[in-house]
A and B are shown apart, each in its own frame.
Chain A
Amino acid sequence: MTEKRMTADEAVSRIEDGMTVGVGGWGSRRKPMALVRALLRSPVKDLTVVSYGGPDVGLLCAAGKVRKAVYGFVSLDSIPLEPHFRAARESGAVQALELDEGMFLAGLRAAALRLPFMPVRGGIGSDVPRNAPFLRTVTDPYGSGDEVMAAPPLELDVALVHANLADPRGNAALTGPDQYFDDLFCLAAKTSYVSAERVLPTADLRRAAGCLHALVVHRYLTAGVVEAPRGAHFTECPPQYGRDEAFQQAYARAAADPREWAAFADRFLDQPDEASYQQAVDEFHAARADRAGGAR
């Protein structure tokens, strides 16, 4: 049995400059943030990031790690626009391949199935192909005259996903209400790393997951397993925890001003490891609770 447990830093040390990295989750929901923070600590650069984008894209843009972003949207959900992504686009710092969400899904499926493209209706007639002129349409080879987009395969060098549970061999369970596209990201990637709230023996996985249908990330997909409690913070990871709205607000506020952002990054991100980040988050909440107490 191959034992795949490793640290977040070990996982991201396998990522090289210029690679295409797919990030699971959705918006500000169950993002593999501990792995993203490890990427921020690493020297890697010039990444192409493929994501149903949230603060993962924003943080990587803010750290200058992103050459190109491939996305259907980038949002913090409760805060509609991602401030760092906005700044990166408005300064022209990153290239953008903006796809329709369904075309994005078709691209992941094409890569997962090793197909040269996947037909999809969404995109035709819109400015998606105008802003990405390499995109092509295909005409129905069976003669109806119907024309659809040929979604290009979103082939990933690496996929990063965060699960609720995993075993040491790389099986993982997504137990929340939406599994998003994490298994597809893994299938579309050469190599995938899964972080999880808890790593437990294979024999306990199904019972802990509560439902067989949650076990959708399989060990043939994953090269590394990282135990990362609160590893999706500050995005949500139901049923374990909701989004840390107070922290996300602090993040978005700080992002609006370079000096405040430097202080935020110093306090939370320029840390030697994930444990120090989590401790800084605990201190952030303790300080807020103190202030609320003092106000009474």
Chain B
Amino acid sequence: MSALRILVPVKRVIDYAVKPRVNKAQTGVETAGVKHSMNPFDELSIEESVRIREKKRAPGGVEDICAISAGPAKSVDILRTAMAMGADRAIHVETAEGDEGALEPLTVAKMLRAVVDKEKSNLVILGKQSIDDDAAQTGQMLAGLLGWPQATQASRVEFTGDSVEVTKEVDGGVETVRAKLPMVITTDLRLNEPRYASLPNIMKAKKKPLVKMSLSDLGVANERRLKVVKVTEPAPRLGGGKVEDVDGMISKLKELGAL
């Protein structure tokens, strides 16, 4: 089996622990001054790539782990994090701040297809979804555009000979599929536990190569198919009703018609 050239797309999103607020103009979510981090599923992708190398799981070895992110200037921060976790290098595809720069999954998939060709990647590991848009599309779209096999929501990745066996989380349990490289894998929570970047590694990551590009360098236009008409807060729940004891709970549930 040829050596792995792994491409790991990562996205800068509002930190998972922050409760997002809809902006006053109802055009989106307030992002200014809000803590951002790497999309949690993308951390799993980087971790898995690094583990494949460290544990020498791929018979042909790992030649390269390249992290890539498309987004505004601050996306560099998460690319540095990816390199501190073990990626060899990074590509930053810079887009405009805010809504103008936001790319739809299909555009990201087209961009990644161009990068895969350029970098001669033979394995792309993405998160199963980003926690901002919750679309869960990019990996599958990329696989479709490339005509490669895909394994989504992976909880285990194993290499046997020239093929990759992936256990996937599905409704009601797990399913295992096998395919030959090149392929696209998306990560699920159970795949691994991402490491923290150590201080020496954070320092080293500053010296790792980071290449800047634009969408047009890759021959891709930021074409929008979906227009956001409005963004609103969900209807609030009027919770807060408390009961004293178990009997109170049962009678209240009966009153509400839930029992």
Partners in one complex: no
